[in-house]
């Protein structure tokens, strides 16, 4: 009887220790800091109309709790503009994550999702680098004094690392500067800018240069449709544009790309010297410019 009692006691103690051990080793929820990079799906928040109206922007931090299956079960914005917080919370609740495993078991996770709200740029703002390249290409042959100071300001803003150098170069151009010297100075500025650009910015700058060259060669037609064009020079620029649009960056405005594709079709025309074709080409150039900058 005594042996049986001790056996029951040992079993009870063992069971209790086992149960206690299981409870002690049960994983708790863990803190993971910023979790954007761990998401399997991270929907973008809607930009509230009220926030756009007052140009509200910036980062919004949303504290989230993620369950054992990787779903967000709570989301609360802890910083950021008041008009952006609700949209950020709504987006955070739709996010999903890979389950976090600790000691062989999935656990809840707390962390922060950071959303950066940046107002969409207009096409003109998005294409500023292309516009600068076009302007510089054209200005080698056309007097654009009214816009000169504005373009220097834009150059300093877009390219702060070389803005001083470019400003010095362009401000050396004045009414006494010969066309040859002016072209040399602007070419030097174009080369300097081009050497400091990468990826989509470099692509934009290149197509802007070619578009500017095309404008220069079509300039005589604007004044007199009877003027004879340098067909080979125009075709060269059209073919360069064709080569570039094959690798158009994903962020390039689609409506402007469509205009360049229409321009590309003229590269295969055999009647560029005909009055009708010249007028069609000039009309398309004007429409392209209006698409880029409606004002």
- Contacts of 78 by beta carbon, 8 Å cutoff, 6+ apart: 61, 62, 63, 112
Co-location of 97 and 154 in the same domain? no
Q: What is the mean pLDDT of each run of 10 residues along the chain (295 residues)?
A: 43 44 58 92 90 87 96 96 96 95 92 88 75 87 70 75 77 84 89 88 94 89 73 93 93 90 93 88 90 71
Co-location of 75 and 129 in the same domain? no
Co-location of 41 and 186 in the same domain? no
The domain boundary, picked from 117, 142, 175, lies at 117
Q: Nearest-CA neighbor of 41 among 20, 71, 11, 21?
A: 71
Number of CB atoms found within 10 A of residue 33's CB:
8
- Number of domains making up the chain: 2
Residue 89 lies in a domain: yes
Co-location of 234 and 270 in the same domain? yes
Residue 11 lies in a domain: no
Copy the structure tokens of residue 178: 């010969």
- pTM of the entire predicted model: 0.59
- Residue where the block lists tokens 């054209």: 138
Residue 19 lies in a domain: no
Co-location of 221 and 142 in the same domain? yes
In Å, how far are 139, 161, 205, 207, 289 from 260, measured between CA atoms? 21, 31, 15, 10, 11
For residue 76, what are the domain limits? 28-117
Residue 1 lies in a domain: no
Helices (H), the chain: 2-25, 49-53, 82-93, 123-126, 128-139, 145-158, 163-171, 179-194, 199-223, 231-245, 254-265, 275-292
Helices (H), 140-198: 145-158, 163-171, 179-194
Co-location of 40 and 113 in the same domain? yes
Q: Phi, psi at residue 163, to the nearest 5°?
A: -55, -40
Per-residue pLDDT, 123: 63
Per-residue pLDDT, 233: 92
- CATH of residue 84's domain is 3.30.2420.10
Q: How far apart are CA 69 and CA 54, in angstroms?
A: 39
The domain boundary, picked from 66, 88, 117, lies at 117
Q: Nearest-CA neighbor of 251 among 198, 195, 204?
A: 204
Co-location of 237 and 111 in the same domain? no
Decide if 36 contacts 64 (C-beta within 8 A): no
Strand, helix or coil at 131?
helix
In Å, how far are 154, 212, 283, 288 from 246, measured between CA atoms? 28, 19, 24, 18
Q: Which residues on neighbouring strands pair with residue 65, listed in sequence order?
A: 74, 110
Co-location of 113 and 168 in the same domain? no
The domain boundary, picked from 117, 140, 170, lies at 117
Co-location of 276 and 137 in the same domain? yes
Q: How far apart are CA 261 and CA 270, in angstroms?
A: 18
Burial of 141 by CB count in 10 Å (0-12 exposed, 13-18 middle, 19+ buried)?
middle
Co-location of 219 and 109 in the same domain? no
Co-location of 134 and 216 in the same domain? yes
Decide if 163 contacts 155 (C-beta within 8 A): yes
Co-location of 210 and 193 in the same domain? yes
Residue 14 lies in a domain: no
Residue 129 lies in a domain: yes
Q: How far apart are CA 281 and CA 241, in angstroms?
A: 14
Residue 214 lies in a domain: yes
Pairing of strands 109-117, 58-66: antiparallel
Q: How far apart are CA 253 and CA 35, in angstroms?
A: 31
Residue 10 lies in a domain: no
């Amino acid at each position: 009887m005594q042996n049986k009692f001790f056996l029951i006691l040992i079993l009870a103690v063992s069971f209790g220790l086992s149960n206690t051990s299981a409870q002690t080793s049960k994983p708790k929820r863990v803190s993971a800091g910023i979790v954007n990079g761990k998401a399997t799906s991270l929907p973008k928040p809607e930009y509230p109309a009220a926030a756009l109206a007052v140009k509200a922007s910036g980062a919004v931090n949303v504290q989230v709790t993620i369950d054992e299956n990787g779903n967000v079960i709570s989301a609360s914005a802890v910083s950021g503009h008041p008009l952006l917080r609700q949209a950020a919370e709504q987006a955070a609740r739709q996010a999903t994550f890979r389950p976090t495993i600790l000691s062989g078991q999935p656990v809840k996770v707390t962390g922060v999702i950071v959303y950066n709200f940046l107002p969409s740029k207009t096409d003109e703002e998005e294409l500023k680098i292309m516009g600068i390249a076009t302007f510089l290409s054209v200005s080698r042959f056309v007097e654009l004094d009214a816009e000169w100071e504005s373009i220097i300001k834009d150059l300093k803003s877009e390219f702060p690392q070389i803005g001083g150098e470019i400003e010095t170069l362009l401000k050396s151009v004045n009414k006494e500067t010969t066309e040859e010297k002016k072209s040399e100075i602007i070419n030097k500025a174009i080369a300097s800018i081009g050497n400091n650009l990468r990826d989509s910015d470099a692509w934009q700058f290149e197509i802007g240069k070619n578009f500017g060259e095309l404008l220069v060669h079509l300039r005589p037609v604007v004044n007199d449709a009877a003027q004879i064009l340098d067909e080979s020079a125009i075709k060269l620029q059209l073919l360069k544009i064709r080569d570039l649009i094959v690798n158009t960056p994903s962020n390039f405005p689609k409506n402007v790309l469509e205009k360049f594709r229409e321009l590309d079709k003229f590269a295969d025309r055999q009647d560029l010297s005909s009055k009708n074709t010249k007028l069609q080409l000039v009309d398309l150039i004007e429409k392209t410019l209006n698409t880029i900058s409606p004002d």
